[in-house]
Amino acid sequence: MDSNSLPIVAALKQRMRWLTARQNVIAENVANADTPGYRPRRLKEQSFKDLLTNQTAMTGGGGASLKRTSGQHMRIGGGDMDRSPRQFKAREVADERPNGNGVTLEDELVSMAETQIEYQTMLNVYRKHHAILRTALGRQK
């Protein structure tokens, strides 16, 4: 069995590809910080639900669904649970510079740092997963 066929590995790789694309978009925004009229670009955030649906479709499952089996469970799809924990402040027109450029270097640097931290986290999870598989197979290194 190839480790790449495992859903967790496929999900980690997909997330790492998205983070790489996000880093490229941030780099383009920084590179065009002085370009008159340039509007910063953003990638659409990945949602866990979409990631889970894609992985179950790739593994041949019909999609996973959550079931609320107790009144103490959080309800699905309602209230504050639908919001992303890190929502960016919407930029206002006043944030533009006189030349029409909307890139704020501080925001881009924060996004870059968040992307780097998340990529390192995904890489560490990937390494730990492979270490667990090696241990389970009886291999040390």
Q: 16-20, 58-62, 86-90 — which is least confidently predicted?
A: 86-90
Q: Could you tell me if residue 96 is inside a domain?
A: no
Total domains present in the chain: 1
Rounded mean pLDDT of 64-74? 64
Residue 47 maps to a domain: yes
Q: Is residue 95 part of a domain?
A: no
Per the domain annotation, does 42 fall within a domain? yes
Full domain range(s) for residue 14: 3-90+102-137
73 within a domain of the structure (yes/no): yes
**Most distant CA pair in the chain, distance:** 64
User: What is the per-residue pLDDT across 77-92, written as a single tens digit (0 to 9) for each?
Assistant: 544 444 443 444 444 4
CB 15 within 8 A of CB 51: yes
Nearest to 51 by CA among 83, 75, 15: 15
Average pLDDT on 51-56 reads 62
Residue 97 lies in a domain: no
pTM: 0.65
**How far apart are alpha carbons 78 and 112 in whole angstroms?**
31
